[in-house]
Structure 1
Amino acid sequence: MDITHIEHQTAPRLEQDIHNFFTQVRFGSPIPPMTHDEHIQKIIEQTAQVLLVYFREWNELMFHHRDSDCSFWVTQFRNAYFTVLQQFDSRQHYFNPTAKHTAKWLAEHVLNKLKQLFATTGFHEALHQSNEQYEKRVDHLRELYSEVSKLSVDAPDLKFYLSYPVGTELLQSVDQVIQSFRVFEKKLTSLPWFRAQVIFSYYHLIRDSTRNCYVIRFYLTFQKVFYCNDIDYSVDLLRLWQDATHGMGILLQIPDEETQHSNGNPFGFDPDGLFNFPEPKNPLDDLGDLPDTVTSVNEQMNKICIATRGFKIFNGKKW
């Protein structure tokens, strides 16, 4: 199993499963004559069976990404996982099943810990605060972009897609992508035309669910007076992105939405193919497409559940 499978498949699956477990424990009710305790125990047993189907994957996720930033529900699972692990061996960072401590034993004990956590008022306050902080950050970025719009009315927005060619998906872990992007961004901001013309930059790391490949939506907002139609800014961006990725980076060419099917999504669809979304044309559109809460699992684009510690999945800056 490769690390990218864990990032693109296992982590989002675990995020969904733990969110489902929370909603069942929190909002489900027993059907008489079943008691409340029997109802909860049944949910734990059923969820444990769901988790056991891909035990090896999430067990490796816990080890490989123990120092990463994870999405909300994966983080809750990881905290419970290591709490259970440390109870019988404080030296362990990885669970090796034994005759006494089986994979089923681990799954049920982790879920029991989560059940206890989800019943506390402190957890619900933490959930509320996480969503509130997320909402404030999104609003702050909207305000920054709006402020810039006042400095240059009808400021041009250029959109780029930083990614990798077909066939290199297994070579690009999220840590490598983020490291390359940081190098790219640092070099870009040192260019004379960037310092003179760009008044706002914005990025959003997403997943191409068709290829299981990372893509970075990258926007540059220019001072309209200084923007030059005759300059192909993509030339410099491609050069810097290739430098940062050891020659592997590409700029994806995405056709205008008008030339595609209505509401076409170039990066894949949800599992049932029910929701298709157009690509955002500017940072404000992208912010508007974000889910309402950080704890949501019903996103328009596939949720990124693992990232390098301290890295923001989306962010903008006024220059």
Structure 2
Amino acid sequence: MDITHIEHQTAPRLEQDIHNFFTQVRFGSPIPPMTHDEHIQKIIEQTAQVLLVYFREWNELMFHHRDSDCSFWVTQFRNAYFTVLQQIDSRRYYFNPTAKHTAKWLAEHVLNKLKLLFATTGFHEALNQCNEQYEKRVDHLRELYSEVSKLSVDAPDLKFYLSYPVGTELLQSVDQVIQSFRAFEKKLTSLPWFRAQVIFSYYHLIRDSTRNCYVIRFYLTFQKVFYSNDIDYSVDLLRLWQDATYGMGILLQIPDEETQHSNGNPFGFDPDGLFNFPEPKNPLDDLGDLPDTVTSVNEQMNKICIATRGFKIFNGKKW
């Protein structure tokens, strides 16, 4: 098992399972003659069995990404995990099963901690605040883009897909992708034409679930008066992206939406997911395709659940 499997498969799976656990504990009701306590205990036991199927994977996730930013439900699990781990040894960062403290013991104790947390009013307040902050950030980016649109009516938007070739998936952890993207952005913003012509930039880190590979939707909005159809801006972007990725970076060529089947999708997302065709043509479209809440699991296995601390999965900037 490699670290990219943890990022692309294990973390989204854990996000979904803990959200399901919350939903059952919060909204489920016992069927008589079962008592409420018996009902909750049954949910804990059933969820523990679900978690034990991939115990090794999420146990390694907790260690490898203890300092990463994680999605909402994975973060709740991680907090409970290290709280339980402290009961064994306050200096531990990794759980090794023993005859006394088995994997089943760990899973059930973590779920019990989460059960107590989910029952508090403070948790629901934290959940609501988290979603409100997310909504405000999305609205703020919409406003920024709208402001720019007023400065240059019908401003051209160019869209690029920064990614990696087939066969290099196992070499690209999310930390490496983000490090490369930061280096790419820094070099790009120093180019003369960027400073003179670009009035807004926007990116969104997504996943190609067919290849388990990262893709960055990257948009540049130009001052219409200075934009030139005679310049191939992709040449500079490809060169800088390759420089930042040790020569491995590519610009994906995505066919026009009109050429695809009705349920076509360049990244293999679930037909009922959020990233189906038509692919967003500009930052406003992309923002409109985002989930309504940050705690949503509607993206299913395509939700990015691990990122470098401090990095925003999507963001835009007015220049």
Structural RMSD (CA): 1.4
Instruction: Kindly indicate whether the alpha-carbon contact (under 8 Å) linking 2:13 and 2:301 is maintained by their aligned counterparts in 1.
Output: no
Shift of 1:144: 0.2
> Structure 2: 5+ residue runs without aligned partners?
none
- Give SS of 2:300's match: coil
Instruction: Kindly indicate whether the alpha-carbon contact (under 8 Å) linking 1:289 and 1:300 is maintained by their aligned counterparts in 2.
Output: no
Instruction: Kindly indicate whether the alpha-carbon contact (under 8 Å) linking 1:290 and 1:299 is maintained by their aligned counterparts in 2.
Output: no
> Structure 1: 5+ residue runs without aligned partners?
none
Q: Which runs of 4+ in 1 moved over 3 A?
A: 271-277
- Give SS of 2:207's match: strand
Instruction: Kindly indicate whether the alpha-carbon contact (under 8 Å) linking 2:201 and 2:219 is maintained by their aligned counterparts in 1.
Output: yes
Shift of 1:263: 4.8
Residues 180, 252 of structure 1: alpha-carbon distance in 2 compared, 3 angstrom cutoff: same
Shift of 1:299: 2.1
- Give SS of 2:76's match: helix
Shift of 1:265: 1.4
Residues 259, 140 of structure 1: alpha-carbon distance in 2 compared, 3 angstrom cutoff: same
Shift of 1:211: 0.2
Q: Deviations over 1:62-101 (max 9, x none)?
A: 0000000000000000000000000110111000000000
Residues 257, 271 of structure 1: alpha-carbon distance in 2 compared, 3 angstrom cutoff: closer
Quick one: distance in 1 between partners of 2:195 and 2:312? 23
Aligned to 1:69: 69
Compute the TM-score of the two structures, normalised by the length of structure 2. 0.98
Residues 301, 12 of structure 1: alpha-carbon distance in 2 compared, 3 angstrom cutoff: closer
Q: Deviations over 1:278-303 (max 9, x none)?
A: 21000000000000000000028810
Quick one: distance in 1 between partners of 2:28 and 2:298? 20
Instruction: Kindly indicate whether the alpha-carbon contact (under 8 Å) linking 1:257 and 1:278 is maintained by their aligned counterparts in 2.
Output: yes
Shift of 1:270: 1.9
Instruction: Kindly indicate whether the alpha-carbon contact (under 8 Å) linking 2:254 and 2:266 is maintained by their aligned counterparts in 1.
Output: yes
Q: Deviations over 1:15-73 (max 9, x none)?
A: 00000000000000000000000000000000000000000000000000000000000
Query: How many aligned residue pairs are there?
Result: 319
Quick one: distance in 2 between partners of 1:229 and 1:239? 19
- Give SS of 2:90's match: coil
Shift of 1:267: 0.3
Quick one: distance in 1 between partners of 2:242 and 2:20? 41
Instruction: Kindly indicate whether the alpha-carbon contact (under 8 Å) linking 1:257 and 1:263 is maintained by their aligned counterparts in 2.
Output: no
Shift of 1:258: 1.0
Quick one: distance in 2 between partners of 1:17 and 1:61? 15
